Amino acid sequence: MTEAQKRPYHHGDLRQAILETAIAMLNEPGGWQFTLREVARRAGVSHAAPYKHFPDKAALLNEIALIGFDRLHVALASARSSAGNAAEALAAASRAYLVFGLGNPALYRLMFGAEIGNSAAVHRDRRAMGAFDVVMDLLAEGQAAGLIEKRGVAGQAASVWAQMHGLTMLKLDGMLRPERVGEDAVEAALASFFEGVLV
Amino acid sequence: MTEAQKRPYHHGDLRQAILETAIAMLNEPGGWQFTLREVARRAGVSHAAPYKHFPDKAALLNEIALIGFDRLHVALASARSSAGNAAEALAAASRAYLVFGLGNPALYRLMFGAEIGNSAAVHRDRRAMGAFDVVMDLLAEGQAAGLIEKRGVAGQAASVWAQMHGLTMLKLDGMLRPERVGEDAVEAALASFFEGVLV
DNA sequence: GCGATAAGTAGACAGTGTTAACTTCATGTC
DNA sequence: GACATGAAGTTAACACTGTCTACTTATCGC
């Protein structure tokens, strides 16, 4: 008598179970290329049941990506609120960004994977911009306080975000090879970058 | 009498035809998620013929990614050779990088897509590092000539690469939204970044 | 209890990657 | 020219996947 046989006909919260199962499966080889059938199997339902909650696999992946953006935003907002001045907060938020990305490789890749699901819709969603807004705010604050080089905030914010995103992706992809850029490439790059940003 | 019927039994250069067909198909919706069967169909051979030249789809994608890195390297080396001093060359190479990435979205994504093919092997390949080597050289030159801020070359190179890569990916993914970062976010970010790098 | 509807099941279908047996052909040797 | 060999390509089969539809189960409101 397996668990599946003991479950009542209705799961009770299948949508949530599918999300959690899929998020967990992201960390297995193949990442987001898990099959919907395996998600259903593990959630203890028939292979077509997920279609009751998500119109297709892309929709499931989109929702997971947005959950990822929510979490990234929370991580940055949290780092910000426990830091000192704007420059310190920016540094803390940057580290939080890297910690999040490097600590959740598969989720991070899904969030930024352009050919995954309907990424255009994801990237238009307000939830995808929360983390970036934190960066924008900190830069504006830091400039006003004379702690950060005075440059166009928009361009500077894009540059900061590009730096975080680029470092995360290059590190995750194994392209920052120790024999070329040393053992602590991310830290060294961050230090180098902020030498050009902080006053 | 179709072209397929007029072709001799042996294609003559099927491996190349498959590569070219697949690279062309990269630019269609779905990018690298094209089917091997469609590649074969367009190349005018049976669906299983590609297996004579590539053990599986991943191997084909890997080879295409490496071709992409070759091209990126050529673009940077070319920009470098027609620029002036090291600082100018770095700026030119950076623009060449962005032009390449933004001009070949699907190829660029394949090059850096960690869950595509056997990306670990691709990223260990010497061919994946040619462009980065150009950046390293230019930074060392620029620092020696007093044109670029003196910082650890390894960290600085990682930072430059992260900036280029991050900007390319964020732009390609539609995340540098004009209403947030202006119409010329890439240019503005690049200017901001280099203000912190050039003397 | 009944009707409506949401949630889940079972089966079908088309398409895909891959494999193996078979076929075609080119090349080298005698 | 005949023959053997091996590479290149074909055909058919298989397992798997995403998706759809008809059917079943169960819940809720009247």
- Are residues B154 and B183 both part of a single domain? yes
Q: Which residues pair with A148 in a beta bridge?
A: A198
In chain B, what residues touch A162 (CB-CB under 8 Å)? 162-163, 165-167, 170, 189, 193
> Tens of pLDDT along A56-99?
999 999 999 999 999 999 999 999 999 999 999 999 999 999 99
- Which residues, in sequence order, are CB contacts of A167 under 8 Å at separation 6+? A98, A176, A186, A189, A190, B158, B159, B162, B166
Residue A180 burial (C-beta neighbours within 10 Å; 0-12, 13-18, 19+): middle
* A53/D30 CA-to-C1' distance in Å: 28
Q: Is the pLDDT of residue B124 over 60?
A: yes
What's the whole-number mean pLDDT along residues B92-96?
A: 96
Same domain, A102 and A159: yes
Q: Which two tokens stand for residue A27?
A: 């960390």
For chain B, give the percent of residues with pLDDT over 90. Answer: 81
Q: Are A142 and B140 in contact (CB under 8 A)?
A: no
Q: Which two tokens stand for residue A139?
A: 């830069």
- What span, in angstroms and rounded, lies between the C-alpha atoms of A189 and A168? 11
Cβ distance of B112 and A152 shorter than 8 Å: no
B72 touches chain A (CB under 8 A): no
Cα–Cα distance, B178 to A159 (Å, whole number): 14
Q: Quick one: pLDDT at residue A3?
A: 44
- The upper half-sphere exposure of residue B1, i.e. CA atoms within 13 Å in the direction of its Cβ, equals 2
Whether B17 and B66 map to the same domain: the answer is no
Predicted confidence (pLDDT) per residue in B13-38, tens digit: 999 999 999 999 999 988 999 999 99
Using alpha carbons only, how large is chain B's radius of gyration in Å? 20
Confidence of residue A113 (pLDDT cuts 50, 70, 90): confident
User: Which of A114, A155, A196 comes nearest B149 by C-beta?
Assistant: A196
Judge whether B13 is closer than 8 Å to chain A, CB to CB.
no
What SS3 class is residue B148? strand
Q: How confident is the model at residue B148 (pLDDT cuts 50, 70, 90)?
A: very high
Of the three residues A54, A79, A96, the one that is the final residue of a domain is A54
Q: How confident is the model at residue B116 (pLDDT cuts 50, 70, 90)?
A: confident
Task: Indicate the pLDDT class of residue B6, thresholds 50, 70 and 90.
Answer: low
What dihedral do alpha carbons A20, A106, B178, A167 form, nearest 10°?
A: 140
Residues A161 and A119 placed together within one structural domain of the fold = yes
Q: Give the model's pLDDT for residue B160.
A: 97
Q: Produce one character per residue of B167-186: b if its CB has 16 or more CB atoms within 10 Å, e if not.
A: bbbbbbbebbeeeebbebbb
Q: What is the pLDDT of residues B186-197, one digit of tens each?
A: 999 999 999 999
The pLDDT tens digits of the residues spanning A27-66 come to 998 899 999 999 999 999 999 999 999 999 999 999 999 9
Chain A CA closest to residue B149: A196
**B74 and B37 share one domain:** no
> Would you call B155 and A33 a contact, using CB atoms and an 8 Å cutoff?
no
The answer to whether residues A67 and A165 belong to one domain is yes
Distance CA A106, CA A109 (A): 5
pLDDT, chain B, mean: 92
| Whether residues A75 and A105 fall in one domain | yes
**Which residues of chain B make contact with A192, given a CB cutoff of 8 A?**
151-152, 155-156, 158-159
Cβ–Cβ under 8 Å, residues B122 and B66: yes
Q: What was the pLDDT predicted at A6?
A: 55
- B77 interfacial to chain A (CB closer than 8 Å): no
Same domain, B112 and B70: yes
Q: Which of the listed residues A16, A34, A54 is the one where a domain comes to its end?
A: A54
Closest by CA position to A146, among listed A86, A104, A186: A86
Q: What pLDDT is recorded for position B119?
A: 78
Angle (CA) A79-A85-A91 rounded to 5° is 50
> Which residues are A198's β-sheet partners?
A148
* Single-letter amino acid code for the residue at B120: A
A164 confidence band (pLDDT: 50, 70, 90):
very high
| CA distance linking residue A89 with residue A142, whole number of Å | 9
Query: Domain span at residue B41?
Result: 1-54
E strands present in B60-158 = none
**Nucleotide minimizing C1' to CA distance for residue B53:** D8
Total structural domains in chain A?
A: 2
A182 and A139 together in one domain: yes
Q: Which residues of chain B lie closer than 8 angstroms to A191, CB-CB?
A: 151, 155
- Domain end: B27, B54, B81, which one? B54
CA of B56 to C1' of C28 (A): 31
**DSSP assigned state of A198:** B
Query: Do B159 and B121 share a structural domain?
Result: yes
- Taking residue A139's Cβ as centre, other Cβ atoms within 10 Å add up to 25
Q: Determine whether the interchain pair B192/A159 forms a contact, defined as Cβ–Cβ distance below 8 Å.
A: yes
**Residues B73 and B109 placed together within one structural domain of the fold:** yes
Number of H helices, E strands in chain A: 11, 0
Same domain (yes/no): B31, B103: no
